[in-house]
Structure formats: C-alpha cells, structure tokens
Structure 1
Amino acid sequence: MPAIDLTVVKANKRHSLRQVSSILPALCLVKHGTKQVIWDEQFLDIESQQLLLFPAGMKFTVSNIPDKDLYLAEMVSVPPQLISRFRQRYGDQLLITKRQPLENNLRCKVDTHTTEAWRQLMASIAAQAPDSLQEHYLEGVLLALSLNNDLSPIISIRADTLCERIQHLIALRPAYEWSTTKIAQQLHIGESTLRRRLQAEGKKFGQILLEVRFGQALNLLQTTSKAIGEIAIETGYASASRFSHRFRSHYGITPSELRKSM
C-alpha cells in the first residue's frame, strides 16, 4: 500500500453524491470545474485551483460540476502519523494562524508556494518515490497551506475512537464477512463490550461496515475501469444488482449513472 493514497476524479457531466465521507483527513485540490459541498445546512463552492479540507468522518453532499465538459480534482489522504509529526514540528506556526468559522476554513487559499509543493507531491507519487519522501512532500503542502490558512479541521488532536479502529480494520479487507463477533476477536475485546462502546459513540456496526465498503466502492468506480460486478465482489456483495440498489440508497446515484458522468 502506498504511503499517500491519491484519488484523481474526472467527470464530463455534473453529478451529485450524498453522505460522502473519508476515514482519514484529506486534501482535495480542484484543478478544473467546481466542487459544491453541503453539510449541516451550510453550502460551499470550491472553484478551480482552490483546495478543500476534508475532515475525517465528516459527511458531505457533494456535486462535481464540469467546466467545458471537464471536472478534475486530486485528493490525498493524510496519515495520522504525519499529522502528529507536523504538529510537533510546527506547533508554534499553527498557533499564529487566525481561527476562522468552519464554513470559511474548509476552503483554502492556494498560493504559488502551495502550488509548487503540490506539484512536487504529485510527481513523487507518480514516480513511486520512497514512502518517506512522499510524506516529506505532503508535509510541505501542509506547511505551505498553514502560512495562510487554518488547518485545525484536519490536524486537531483527536483520540482514536472504537469506530475509527473498526473502520481501519474493515478497510483492509472490505469483502470479508465481517461481524461484531469477528471484529471483537480482532480487537481483543468482548462482543458485548464492543456493542456497548459503539452505542456510547452513537454508532452501529452495520452502518460502519456499509460506509467503509461504499467508500472503497466509490473510489474504485471513480479511479478504475473495473466492471461494476467486480467492484461489488471486492466490496462484499455477491450480487451486482443488490450492490447497485444499496449504493443508490446511500449516495443517491447508481454506479452506472456515476460511470456515465465520467
């Protein structure tokens, strides 16, 4: 698995997706077109050459809108260990940045320094550079952004929740027949304890499983040419029709409709 997970999204027709979330914090740079995001009755447009901070676990309704038949965006996840190192090295710099309301600081200013840092990051990923070098360039992107933006939505200190531990476990093998019993065994806790702690976090195992599987399915649909039936199997669904029905219930669009917009 690469150090930095890169997703490149292209589309030639407008499409919308509900309940889009990310297990890890992420940065999304819109290269062409517009990304509209809605959350908690708030609305934000991310125009070409602007960057969206994508906090872990936060759910958006997303619309990708082409300009002259092209929408293009690059999205990278930010590993937890990199965030920890970044906070240790540049904590003073982060305190200087003025805090903004959430609706303002999810959209970042991208200056020439950030643009160059991003170019170097993309080049290192394309060249399959060593993991440490890719992380170095991503840290450079964060530093360039932090000079003019509040990065607290993605770098604030967060205690790992049980939900997050389960998400990471499922993401390693999304097609596996996961159950609360099997998850509890992997995490070395009792099943009743697992259920009780999830309830305290306001989470349900079935919903966590669905969101992780469909998050991976969405990524595969957007970034590969794999058949929908193959993607269904890779994310735990033996039936392509059942997969398509559940996908539409979750995102508000069928896999085939999404593919036609790309």
Structure 2
Amino acid sequence: MSQIQIRQIQQSMIYAKSTQQLRQVSCLQPTLMRIRHGEKHIWLNEQTYIARAGDILIAPAGLQLTLTNQPDVHGYACEVLTIAPGLIEQFRQNHPAAVQTALQQAPRLCEKLSATMALLWDELFNAIANNEPVELIEHRAAGLLLALTLSGFATALLSHRDDTVAQRVQMLIMLEPAREWTVELMAKQLNLGASTLRRQLQQEGQSFREILERIRLNIGLGLIQTSKHAIGQIAQQCGYQSASRFSARFQLQFGIKPLQLRATIN
C-alpha cells in the first residue's frame, strides 16, 4: 500500500521544453506558483490570464483550471508551493486584522512579485529544499503569507471555507491514493454509515467515485511533471492496477496522454 506524506507546506518544480496543454486541472490544496521561465496561460470563468516570468499565481483549493505552459527560449520553469489548509487557518488566527482587511478586496489570480516578496519566496523555497527545521519553514511561510496579505494578493487563499465531508474524503484519499478505497471503507474511516456518506456527498454536489478519480489523476499529473518514475509505477502509486487504464482516464480528464505529457518535459 502506497502512502503519501502530506506536509504543511511542500515545494516542487514544473519544467517543459515544449508546449503543455492541460484541461480540468484541480488544485487539491491551496497553491502558489511562481513563473521562472516562459508563460502560463489560464482560462477561468471565460477569462484569460497570462502569468509571465516573475509573476505569481494564487489558487485556492478546489479551483479547476484549463491551462497552457508555454516555454520561451530557456524553456518553461515554474516553482510551486502547496500549503496545507491548517497552516492557513493558523495564519488567519494569528493575523486577524490583516486578514479582515484583505478579505474586503476582490480575489486576484495573477500578480507581479515585488522585490520583498521575491526574497521571502526564495528564502522559503530554499529552506524547504535544504530540509531546514519545520518550525523555521513554517515561520518563513507565515512571512510570505503576511507579505501577500498586506499587498492584497492573498484574498483567494484566506477566504474561509467550511470543513465539508467532501474535503475530509479528499484528504484521506490524498494520504493513501493507492488504497483500495470503497464507500464502505471511507465511511468507516469517517465514523459514518455508507448510506449517510453517499447522502451527505450528494448534498454537497459530489460523489465518492468522482472525488476518488479526481484525486488520483491529479496526483498522477503531479508525479509525471515532477518525477522520473515510469508511467506504470505512477499508475500503481495512484491506485490503478493497469497503466493502460490510467492512461485512458488521464487523457479523458486532461486531454493529453501521460507519455505525451512526459515527452514535453524530457
């Protein structure tokens, strides 16, 4: 059984040597993306956003994007930070006045990083890469969040979201995507009856099967983009016994086959 450790804050790099076009990409956790080379084009709510080198993208958990990663002469490179909701909630409690002011502003998806925010970003990114103590990493993360909040950039991350049953289901699947999940097993984990779980998810406009596949495929997407693991190995890590089944579902979700996406990176 494959279990993935979810830290309070994680980093990764996404590269591309040729254009990547992806649809229905879900942000499983609050996510910050900093473009280093190339451009990221995003289509959301009938609007187009373009993030260029030096820009930051701020995406709350649950946001679903259609996007293109477009290389420049140096290729495409994007630094990614994912922040656990618990860490953001802790930040809300520690800085209520700044958060309240920020929430009065309209959410913004894409912004230019100031010199100060770029420095804070680099310090946090390097701290994670160097395996510095967790307390220091979280301190640096709070500093970056505070700078984004005071600049009016963090509204989308700070908007309070109730703890739904679907979110609890999602977190358990993220911890063990390869587990042979069933409604009955998940209900037991949540101390609910299976019929109660189905009903509560339906009331939230969700289904267990849709959540399970969305989480597995988006974890697979991240592994293809950030690791050198074989596609068959990634399929197993995400709970698919067949690489061909994983490939078919991946293409249906994102509009590209896993091997085609891998070819844009290598």
Measured after TM superposition, the shift of residue 141 of structure 1 is 1.0
Work out whether 1:18 is the aligned partner of 2:23: yes
Alignment check: 8 A CA contact 2:42 2:68 kept: yes
Alignment check: 8 A CA contact 2:40 2:51 kept: yes
In structure 2, distance between residues paired with 1:54 and 1:173: 24
Which residue of structure 2 lines up, in the alignment, with residue 173 of structure 1?
Answer: 176
In structure 1, distance between residues paired with 2:28 and 2:133: 23
Which residue of structure 1 lines up, in the alignment, with residue 89 of structure 2?
Answer: 84
Measured after TM superposition, the shift of residue 149 of structure 1 is 2.2
Which residue of structure 1 lines up, in the alignment, with residue 47 of structure 2?
Answer: 42
Measured after TM superposition, the shift of residue 114 of structure 1 is 0.4
Which residue of structure 2 lines up, in the alignment, with residue 220 of structure 1?
Answer: 223
Residue ranges of structure 2 left out of the alignment (5+ in a row): none
In structure 2, give the amino acid aligned to 1:61: T
Work out whether 1:159 is the aligned partner of 2:162: yes
Does the residue aligned with 1:135 lie in a helix, a strand or coil?
helix
Which residue of structure 2 lines up, in the alignment, with residue 261 of structure 1?
Answer: 264
Identity %: 39
Which residue of structure 2 lines up, in the alignment, with residue 122 of structure 1?
Answer: 125
Q: 1:225 to 1:38 in 2, by over 3 A?
A: same
In structure 1, distance between residues paired with 2:48 and 2:211: 26
Does the residue aligned with 1:44 lie in a helix, a strand or coil?
strand
- Per-residue CA deviations over 1:36-60 (Å, capped at 9, x if unaligned) read 1112212111111110111110110
Does the residue aligned with 1:62 lie in a helix, a strand or coil?
strand
Within the candidate set 98, 107, 112, 1:109 is matched to 112
In structure 2, distance between residues paired with 1:55 and 1:85: 16
Residue ranges of structure 1 left out of the alignment (5+ in a row): none
- Per-residue CA deviations over 1:84-111 (Å, capped at 9, x if unaligned) read 2211222212333485544xx1112311
- Per-residue CA deviations over 1:101-144 (Å, capped at 9, x if unaligned) read 44xx1112311110110111011111111212111111111111
In structure 2, distance between residues paired with 1:60 and 1:223: 19
Does the residue aligned with 2:92 lie in a helix, a strand or coil?
helix
Which residue of structure 1 lines up, in the alignment, with residue 67 of structure 2?
Answer: 62
Alignment check: 8 A CA contact 2:102 2:155 kept: no
Alignment check: 8 A CA contact 2:8 2:87 kept: no
Work out whether 1:95 is the aligned partner of 2:97: no
In structure 2, distance between residues paired with 1:166 and 1:98: 28
- Per-residue CA deviations over 1:167-204 (Å, capped at 9, x if unaligned) read 11011111111110110011110111101000000001
**What's the TM-score, normalizing by structure 2?**
0.94
In structure 1, distance between residues paired with 2:123 and 2:153: 22
Flag as ranges the 4+ runs of structure 1 deviating above 6 A: none
In structure 1, distance between residues paired with 2:137 and 2:119: 14
Alignment check: 8 A CA contact 1:98 1:150 kept: no
Which residue of structure 2 lines up, in the alignment, with residue 207 of structure 1?
Answer: 210
